[in-house]
Structure 1
Amino acid sequence: MSLKVNPPYRAEQLGSLKRPQFLLDKREEFDAGKCTAAELKVAEDEAIRDIVQMQRDVGIKSITDGEFRRHMFFEGVFDQMEGMKYIPEVPLHMFMDYVPDVAGFKKLAFKNAPSYICEGKLRRTKPFYLAQFEALKALTDPSEHANLKLTVCAPEWYHLRHGEYAYPKSVYANDDEYFADIAAAYRAEFAELYAAGCRHIQIDDPLLAYFCAESMITGMEALGLDHAALLDTYVRAYNACLAGRPADLVVGLHLCRGNFKDGMHFSEGGYDRIATKLFREINVDTYYLEYDTPRAGTFEPLKHLPPHKSVILGLVSSKVPQLEDKAELKRKVHDAAAVITSGPEPRTTAEALHQICISPQCGFASHSEGNKVTHDAMVKKLALVVETARELWPGEL
């Protein structure tokens, strides 16, 4: 079997890593106006050098900067795009209750929240992530540059949470017009990143997993909203964002069910409801899927994975410090391979295993504060991922 691209790396990490306290302290100083951007960058560079070395030491090849230059994983696109306005206190009625994380935050008695709202035509007038990628290149060896991975925000991030308030009808007549401008921005960004040497992009999108949640489906139906049509809109948006990309620019899509403070998740439900569209209609190369707890469902949806794509199974928790059992991880990988072989396109177990990699189920700090996992526990979990991969795929790391 010949894949369009080989699986990116047998052992992956999902982008965000636990930040050291000195970096958190320095960013707090910066936010309070007590230090300069240059002083903050010195601290970021020091922390990133250390976290890059950690990834080298444990054997992770897809090196990231740990998202150490961000507060939140989704920063970088809409806060940089012309036509989006930062609103420090958005009225709660402008957040859709059927979105699982919105419902979770409202239960915490939030009276309002900051967000970005579209107020005019959307345009990319400056790079989104180029500076972060170039800075990571400067802190790594040229031999590692082809392996560097950049994580980016999902194109529908503010659209889903704001619903009818996502954009003025005087600016865009419909969703497809709105996403056409977003897609143009993503295509320009990907082209510039590629020219700078980026070959590995991961789009972080917990929102697609929300379509697996019964709470969102029933919430939308109660309002007379067509969730199937909305998912189709997002599929079109993704494919427009990815249109024309070079064949050797590997793009992966990461789905999880939320990763807030103390490991808080927002939704549950297997991938069954969206599997066909997810695997067969969105033109990405690989999928990073949460699979560390029963809330993500069974491996059964993997039977829809086409032979030319790969899947990274998120079997190791990034939310709790307890270390997983290696034998159990290996059993789960073989269970997933067995499901893949049962799909509509016949393939052998060896071919199915060739389509699989393993990783933690999410980042270790999707928000800067992170989860209740110490640095040492994080290192042990990543080392376990690598060790397990080496035993499953000898000679491939």
Structure 2
Amino acid sequence: MRTSPPGLKLHPPFRADHIGSLKRPDYLLAKRAEYDAGKCTAQDLKPLEDKAINDIVQMQREVGIKSITDGEFRRHMFFDGVFDNLEGMKYIPDVPLHMFMDYVPDVPAFKKLAEGKGGTSHICVGKLRRTKPFYKDQFEYLKSITKPEEHRNLKITVCAPEWFHLRHGPYAYDKNVYSNDDEYFADIAQAYREEIKDLYALGCRNIQFDDPLLCYFCAESMIKGMTEAGVDHEALLNTYVRVYNDCLRDRPADMTIGLHLCRGNFRDGRHFSEGGYDRIAVKLFNEIDVDCYYLEYDTERAGTFEPLKFLPKNKVVILGLITSKFPQLEDKEELKKRVHEAAVTIAEGTEKRSKEEALNQLCISPQCGFASHAEGNRVSSEDMRKKLTLTVETAKEIWSDV
């Protein structure tokens, strides 16, 4: 674990940040639909992706967002990139529904959408090896269209390492390939270490893991379902903590690693779980070797700020106070009030500090991306711009180093 004090230099993350995925323009969605239907090639799609990325990068500059992303415009889902490129994982277009764990909060909704049919997924059928990069092309293009002084702050979002494991439980991997979870995750962690090393060599200094699954451990419904299924939820959470630390074991000291948690942000902002961070806060803040946490805090389902009392002095929380689910703008004064409330909770926490010190450990952002799924939420591009502008304006009125 790194133990340096937080200081004032939070670049990255910045006081005003955003999660990563942004609203795709209609022309890109239309072309991607053609591609998915087999009516055009990847070569036909790429010029439109390039144009959309160029435009969205400029929009981020204009509103004052400095942790620039490509909006995930080359992805269909936020978690694309790792398991679909990992040797040993097999895409299965019709996974039997019994291979999806009903205790996982998003599975019942998924099964309802599937209407009794099998679902698409990836299952491990062979030894896992990273034989090609996951996000190299995405980072290189983003770097090619930005200024040298912006390169350090470019952010790449990556899939959570336990993504398919939680949803498939005992069916996640072939037991003839791996006899237990430790063996399975050892090769996954190796792949992540290789990816992080290569991204660093390309100049990437800001990586964000997107992980709604950790929030599922806050949901009483999943804890109850796991208990009924004979799954030790505490042991499983401990496994996932170890996996993260194994993935990050060799990370460079000057690379910022963020972890984004939310409770689901599917089509139209649909959520899948509820419950505050209380159940996982100690492990989340003190046992996972990341620098900052992007936390959903735009609705009551995320709970109170009370779990922030466990935040150590060397880490940062980006408060997701601005919703990406609907277009209505939040009240700036209310946002500022909530940031100060969070600072008081941290200051009076298990490691006492001044409110000023606690405030220095906070940033602000939307609670999730605007399009975790390519189709996005019920917000327009202009709505998104207004939300990000509000994020920056609020940060400027709270902190001087924006």
TM-score range, shorter chain: over 0.9
Match of 1:201 among 207, 224, 230: 207
CA offsets, 1:306-361, max 9 Å, x none? Answer: 00000000000000110000000000000000000111211101100010000000
Match of 1:88 among 89, 93, 103: 93
Alignment match, 2:161: 155
Give the whole-Å Cα distance in 2 for the aligned partners of 1:385 and 1:161: 34
- Structure 1 gaps of 5+ residues are none
Match of 2:356 among 350, 359, 367: 350
Alignment match, 1:22: 27
Alignment match, 1:54: 59
**Under a length normalisation based on structure 1, what TM-score does the superposition of the two structures give?**
0.98
Give the whole-Å Cα distance in 2 for the aligned partners of 1:230 and 1:308: 26
Alignment match, 1:2: 5
Give the whole-Å Cα distance in 1 for the aligned partners of 2:361 and 2:205: 19
Give the whole-Å Cα distance in 2 for the aligned partners of 1:388 and 1:348: 22
Q: 1:48 to 1:380 in 2, by over 3 A?
A: same
Q: Any conservation in 2 of the 1:151–1:201 contact (CA below 8 Å)?
A: yes
Alignment match, 2:246: 240
Give the whole-Å Cα distance in 2 for the aligned partners of 1:178 and 1:339: 39
Give the whole-Å Cα distance in 2 for the aligned partners of 1:236 and 1:332: 33
Alignment match, 1:12: 17
Tell me whether 1:107 sits opposite 2:99 in the alignment: no
Q: What are the equivalent positions in structure 2 for 1:298-377 lying under 5 Å apart? A: 298-377=304-383
Equivalent residue letter for 2:363: C
Give the whole-Å Cα distance in 2 for the aligned partners of 1:86 and 1:180: 21
Give the whole-Å Cα distance in 2 for the aligned partners of 1:2 and 1:160: 34
Give the whole-Å Cα distance in 2 for the aligned partners of 1:255 and 1:35: 35
Tell me whether 1:130 sits opposite 2:136 in the alignment: yes
Give the whole-Å Cα distance in 1 for the aligned partners of 2:159 and 2:216: 16
Deviation at 1:56, TM superposition (A): 0.3
Alignment match, 2:178: 172
| More deviation, 293-302/24-33 | 24-33
Q: 1:249 to 1:352 in 2, by over 3 A?
A: same
Q: Any conservation in 1 of the 2:6–2:360 contact (CA below 8 Å)?
A: no
Alignment match, 2:41: 36
Equivalent residue letter for 1:96: M
Give the whole-Å Cα distance in 2 for the aligned partners of 1:74 and 1:154: 7
Tell me whether 1:224 sits opposite 2:227 in the alignment: no
Q: Any conservation in 2 of the 1:5–1:285 contact (CA below 8 Å)?
A: no
Alignment match, 1:183: 189
Tell me whether 1:387 sits opposite 2:354 in the alignment: no
SS at match of 1:201: strand
Q: Any conservation in 2 of the 1:5–1:248 contact (CA below 8 Å)?
A: no
RMSD: 1.1
Give the whole-Å Cα distance in 2 for the aligned partners of 1:343 and 1:5: 21
Structure 1 outlier segments of 4+, above 4 Å = none
Equivalent residue letter for 1:379: R
Q: 1:113 to 1:304 in 2, by over 3 A?
A: same
Deviation at 1:34, TM superposition (A): 2.3
**Under a length normalisation based on structure 2, what TM-score does the superposition of the two structures give?**
0.97
| More deviation, 110-119/158-167 | 110-119
Q: Any conservation in 1 of the 2:7–2:360 contact (CA below 8 Å)?
A: no
Deviation at 1:110, TM superposition (A): 4.6
Alignment match, 2:280: 274
Match of 1:252 among 250, 258, 273: 258
SS at match of 2:280: helix
CA offsets, 1:243-286, max 9 Å, x none? Answer: 01111110000000001111110000000000000000000000
Alignment match, 2:149: 143
Give the whole-Å Cα distance in 2 for the aligned partners of 1:69 and 1:378: 19
- Structure 2 gaps of 5+ residues are none
Q: 1:38 to 1:90 in 2, by over 3 A?
A: same
| More deviation, 199-208/2-11 | 2-11
Deviation at 1:33, TM superposition (A): 2.5
Deviation at 1:144, TM superposition (A): 1.0
Deviation at 1:36, TM superposition (A): 2.4
Q: Any conservation in 1 of the 2:291–2:316 contact (CA below 8 Å)?
A: yes
Deviation at 1:4, TM superposition (A): 8.2
Deviation at 1:32, TM superposition (A): 2.3
Equivalent residue letter for 1:184: Q
Give the whole-Å Cα distance in 2 for the aligned partners of 1:4 and 1:258: 32
Q: Any conservation in 2 of the 1:4–1:309 contact (CA below 8 Å)?
A: no
Give the whole-Å Cα distance in 1 for the aligned partners of 2:136 and 2:45: 18
SS at match of 1:116: strand
Give the whole-Å Cα distance in 2 for the aligned partners of 1:6 and 1:57: 22
| More deviation, 6-15/93-102 | 6-15
